[in-house]
Structure 1
């Protein structure tokens, strides 16, 4: 029975990971046409409100549902069916209270927030963005109820539907802006898209909930259960791990334009430069998601109880998770830095900000590893420590922006972002050594990673020389085809070299797709 429950938990985690990967690829991908349709100024407006919408999204997807699912799981141990008067209504009340506090505070502070951002025209888009928090309790409670019963399907489906509705309305708003509507409409459109997505997600969840009437009852419980601490504390702490990149964007939204103005840049140019800097965000998000998703699928097996019962197996899972993240984030970071001039022009229409954005790509390396390590530490009950690391990283980011942007412009913002994720990463590494000693990390195939990285960069350089020699790549379409082709070519070189250098263990080879081909490329095959 325990094995079946464990397998169910792992399968559920995989479903959520896959849905998260799909929705985040959608979330990252639509920003390229958004920037193309609205220009850097429209992209700037969107990115000013996006951190607020992102916080609401994370609370509704990860924070509150995880806290509620923990409550449901504990109730399930007592074999009590969920009760509308004793569970759903009080849980909804506490989540609504938390969301309502954020809404009221943010809505009435929007004029002040806009003035801090250095652009008072953002007031209405910000106020609209805070309205999204009023819909958070509806989707959170439904998702938490399903997840508490290890039924991840409704959450996964609702997550993808939510993104589709959200993206559709945002792109529609971008088309209106392109046809001459006020550019600040994109901020309002983004908020309306998030609200429409939340309504669509709740509709799906409610339909599923009505089909499973055994999950709830109108009978009032004899015992009293307290939900406040779990919802407020557990929910918020879980969110912080997912908010690292979002928090960095929030700091940039609050500080970049005013500090560029301190450097003598006009407001109009400062807004444009902020939009140029934000070109890096979808690439960072995509790189981080791809680098950490595979590892995060392994992490549900890392818990304090399992560490006590079978420490060697848990440590092996931790090392494998970190190893996979290192493989992917190192390759993604190096590839993006090398190809960024072509990526910038083919995706975003010109090469402005390339040098600063190349520095910013290093964030993929630090954030991918930080998210993986934070998830491991949270599984081992180091939730407060991981939250403190992220808070410290945000302080460094804020101070770095205030210090560096007036002198180094966009380069200063990029450097402060790298410093912030480096602080979080180092803090997590130091914390994790209490559970996984330094000696475990010497087994990572550093030599194989270095050889694979050098081989990939050399292959990319050679492909670039030949492509520009043979083809005319001045137009965007040929350049886009070149960028996509060379990216795939570089990834293939990197993967093959990792296999040829024996960087994977035999156990890891068994879970990699296309096993027969992979085993032939491995120097020791199945006997490794």
Structure 2
């Protein structure tokens, strides 16, 4: 049934989900580093070829369908109607899950051959089992969210990811130590994802108390199914886009490298090196992902208000914050990437391709909150079409550019696809809210802060690499240079931004964990204010 929440309860729930999402996304990005260290670039290639298949279904059901179920239940008029809707949602998802399970299991050899590597079949079949857990996970999450009970959802999300990471890393370590093949290690990693989802379902089930008692009421099954499909795809489209780009790479990059004359092992290693960019981008877009989760409730709440400025201040704030941190993360990572590459992944292989790859952080940092804000205003269709269009461009660009520049071409293709989506969203955004998102002064100070950051960090890296740390082992040297450069760069960039006051203190306060930044800015600008 529809829940009457006040703004305090609403934002408390959003804050709980935001904190849990940060933990989940951090775990999801960080575990790939020790995993790559255990299995090497070839083993990383094996895992990354298959992961998008299950990742897409996980995001669509556990996130998109959960929100869709929540929306349906929140709009129900009685417990009997809500109970009937839950039954329809579970049945529909169960049928979808069984269909996808059968598809992945039966056609695993076809998908593996299409990716150019028939040894991926066991991994695809192992990962297929995860889809059978999705109906319970999505319906339970949606049920809790419709009641405003965010703690079970948060605990389940963190527990699910923690179990998954633990099983993947421990299982992979045992497989590698026992002398098993890298494909067996990859299969173990797939089973780790299955175990993680199972843990999430169990945690939610322990919290669950069936409040939908009483007789079932009649509902329009087709309407429920239609709304579940449309809302779930629209809501999850922006979260799916990175996985869909990965899936496009799985089917194209390795095959094109083989046709370019590379031996199979060399092509696998090259693709594995290219895949190092995935966790780097995931960590880089963490702030944007957090913003998308945290700011949408504010926009949805204030959009409904007829008095005052409504959602416009929050819209401008979201855009400026996303641009600011997306730009800083992309530029900063590109600057120090050779050292970060060696620090995390043992070598500097593929640094040029990864520098280009890391620029995707800026585009994704804008795509995620822009689509989230449009969804908050009920605009789903056009953003979804733009995301699909960008994916098509990525696929065609891969065919054109990978033959010319190998994995560097794939990185360029990704940037082209994401850039098209970003500019398309901005143009459409202007038709919904014809407002100025940021003044010229804002962009000027961001570019100025970046220029100063480069002017200070680049000489420091050259000096540290050539004189200060050159006697240390290579990976330790790279670690010290990377960490000091990131720290110095972040301090310089934030110092300029705060002294310029292009973000007001009251705006920092509205952001997750912005209180410390607001306090720091007040101290830095105290004399100026006096």
Q: Over the residues paired in the alignment, what is the CA RMSD in angstroms?
A: 2.2
Partner of 1:91: 89
Alpha carbons 2:289, 2:365 under 8 Å: kept: yes
Residue 40 in structure 1 maps to residue 36 in structure 2: no
TM-score (norm 1): 0.93
CA distance in 1, matches of 2:166, 2:447: 42
Bigger mean CA deviation after superposition, 291-300 or 253-262: 291-300
Structure-1 residue corresponding to 2:389: 392
CA drift of 1:308 comes to 6.7
**1:396/1:224 CA distance change after superposition, 3 Å:** closer
Where 2:482 maps in the other structure, the secondary structure is helix
CA distance in structure 2 between the partners assigned to 1:223 and 1:119 by the alignment: 47
Matches within 5 A, 1:442-521: 442=439, 445-468=442-465, 469-472=467-470, 473-511=472-510, 512-514=514-516, 515-521=518-524
Q: Contact between 2:70 and 2:142, CA under 8 Å: does it hold in 1? A: yes
Give the unaligned 5+ runs of structure 1.
Answer: none
* Alpha-carbon distance change, 56 to 267 in structure 1, aligned in 2, over 3 angstroms: same
User: Aligned pair in 2 of structure 1 residues 310, 478: CA closer, same or farther (>3 Å)?
Assistant: farther
Residue 219 of structure 1 corresponds to which residue in structure 2? Answer: 215
Contact 2:343 2:478 (C-alpha < 8 Å) held by counterparts: yes
Q: Deviations over 1:353-398 (max 9, x none)?
A: 1111111111001111011111111112221111101100110110
Cα distance per residue 1:414-464 (max 9 Å; x no partner): 110000100110110010001222534336611211121112212212332
Alignment of 1:16-27 (within 5 A): 16-27=17-28
Q: Structure 1 82/189 Cα, relative in aligned 2: closer, same or farther at 3 Å?
A: farther
Report deviation, 1:7: 2.9
Q: Secondary structure at the match of 1:67?
A: helix
Deviation at 1:172, TM superposition (A): 2.1
Contact 1:73–1:148 (Cα < 8 Å) also in 2: yes
Q: Is the 8 A contact 1:165 1:197 kept in 2?
A: yes
Question: Of residues 147, 151, 154 in structure 2, which corresponds to 1:153?
Answer: 151
Deviation string, structure 1 residues 475-505 (Cα, Å, up to 9, x no partner): 3134223312321221122111100112112
SS in 2 for 1:150: coil
What SS does the corresponding residue of 1:273 show, helix, strand or coil?
Answer: helix
Deviations 1:70-111 (A, max 9, x none): 011001xx2436765x24332210111222222222222211
Shift of the 222–427 alpha-carbon distance from structure 1 to 2, 3 Å rule, reads: closer
Change (3 A) 1:7 1:525: farther
Match of 1:68 in 2: 69
- Uncovered stretches (5+) of structure 2, i.e. residues with no partner: none
Change (3 A) 1:384 1:466: same
1:288 corresponds, among 285, 288, 292, to 285
Query: Is residue 2:309 matched to residue 1:312?
Result: yes
Distance 1:324 1:83 in 2: 38
Instruction: Rate the CA distance shift 1:326–1:460 in 2: closer, same or farther, 3 A.
Output: same
The alpha-carbon distance between structure 1 residues 185 and 524, as it changes in their structure 2 partners (threshold 3 A), is farther
- Given that 1:452 and 1:494 are in contact with CA atoms closer than 8 Å, whether structure 2 keeps it comes out as yes
Equivalent residue for 2:400? 403
Equivalent residue pairs, number: 521
Q: In the alignment, which of 230, 237, 242 is matched to residue 239 of structure 2?
A: 242
Query: How many angstroms apart in 2 are the aligned matches of 1:482 and 1:433?
Result: 42
Aligned runs of 1:168-317 on 2, under 5 Å?
168-179=166-177, 180-210=179-209, 213=210, 215-221=211-217, 226-294=223-291, 296-303=293-300, 306=303, 309-310=306-307, 312-317=309-314
TM normalised by structure 2 equals 0.93
Give the match for residue 332 of structure 1: 329
